[in-house]
């Protein structure tokens, strides 16, 4: 064992975000959708341009300051089966899983184990053989 | 050949625990730095005993000549 780290996932990559949303069963529309994100009663809706959209009232917009994608939505018309906080947690977990799998495979690792634990976490084990002296 | 293993535990809230096994010295940090940079930010890090071990090296052969005769 060499080190142990805890990493807080940040949603930074467009393609990984789209893939994670798809894996969670969301239909996603691509770049620069006009999104209606406020006003539940049909009049005076404000529109917000988002980079990725789910339907017409949930979107993700890239924040150039934090360099992450942020959720834009209307909490009054939120129609997902889970509350917004849980939605974001599930997305972060799926995003991390998609990212780690593609990055480790790209680095020459093989995924030897993937299992979902009872507490809802996902255990992923990857290995790679290297010659002596090549750490 | 050496086997490097990385164990990830991706928690329900997206927090990722990463445990690197089988890599001696600082090279384990280089190994996972790309991942850590791209995925998010490190909120905790603990070095395990293996970190403090130096990678094995092969000592040069030393010949001591016996000049006593």
Assembly ipTM = 0.83
Partner B contacted by A2 (CB < 8 A):
yes
Using a CB-CB distance cutoff of 8 angstroms, which residues of chain B are in contact with residue A91? Answer: 14
**Residue A126 and residue B46: Cβ atoms within 8 Å?**
no
The pTM (predicted TM-score) of the whole model is 0.81
Regions of chain A short of the pLDDT cut 70: 1-2, 32-33, 36-45, 132-135
Going through chain B in order, the beta strands assigned E by DSSP cover: 2-10, 15-21, 40-47
Using a CB-CB distance cutoff of 8 angstroms, which residues of chain A are in contact with residue B52? Answer: none
Sign of the torsion formed by the C-alpha atoms of A9, A109, A98 and A25? negative
Q: What are phi and psi of A82, to 5 degrees?
A: -120, 155
Whole-angstrom CA distances from B48 to A33, A132, B9, B23, B61 are 48, 21, 17, 11, 32
Q: What's the pLDDT score for residue B4?
A: 85
Q: What's the pLDDT score for residue B54?
A: 58
Residue in B12, B24, B43 closest to A7 by CB:
B43
Q: What's the pLDDT score for residue B22?
A: 74
Q: What's the pLDDT score for residue B15?
A: 93
Regions of chain B short of the pLDDT cut 70: 24-31, 49-69
Q: What's the pLDDT score for residue A1?
A: 47
Q: What's the pLDDT score for residue B35?
A: 79
Q: Using CB atoms and an 8 Å cut-off, which of residues 9-48 of chain A contact chain B?
A: 9-10, 12-13
- Distance, in angstroms, between B63 CA and closest chain A CA? 25
Q: How far apart, in whole angstroms, are the C-alpha atoms of residue A81 and residue B36? A: 32
């Amino acid at each position: 064992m060499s080190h142990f780290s805890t990493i807080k996932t940040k949603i930074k990559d467009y393609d990984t975000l789209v893939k994670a949303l798809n894996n969670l069963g969301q239909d996603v529309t691509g770049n620069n959708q006009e999104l209606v994100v406020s006003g539940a009663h049909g009049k005076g809706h404000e529109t917000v341009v988002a980079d990725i959209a789910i339907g017409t009232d949930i979107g993700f917009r890239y924040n150039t300051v934090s360099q992450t994608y942020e959720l834009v939505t209307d909490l009054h018309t939120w129609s997902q089966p889970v509350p917004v906080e849980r939605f974001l947690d599930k997305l972060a977990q799926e995003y991390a899983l998609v990212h780690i799998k593609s990055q480790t495979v790209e680095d020459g690792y093989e995924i030897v184990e993937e299992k979902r634990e009872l507490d809802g976490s996902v255990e992923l084990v990857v290995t790679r053989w290297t010659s002596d002296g090549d750490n | 050949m050496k086997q490097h293993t990385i164990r990830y535990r991706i928690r329900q809230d997206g927090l990722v625990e990463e445990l690197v096994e089988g890599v001696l010295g600082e090279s384990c940090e280089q190994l996972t730095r790309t991942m850590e940079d791209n995925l998010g930010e490190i909120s905790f890090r603990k070095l395990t005993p293996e970190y403090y071990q130096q990678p094995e090296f092969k000592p040069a052969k030393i010949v001591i000549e016996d000049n006593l005769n």
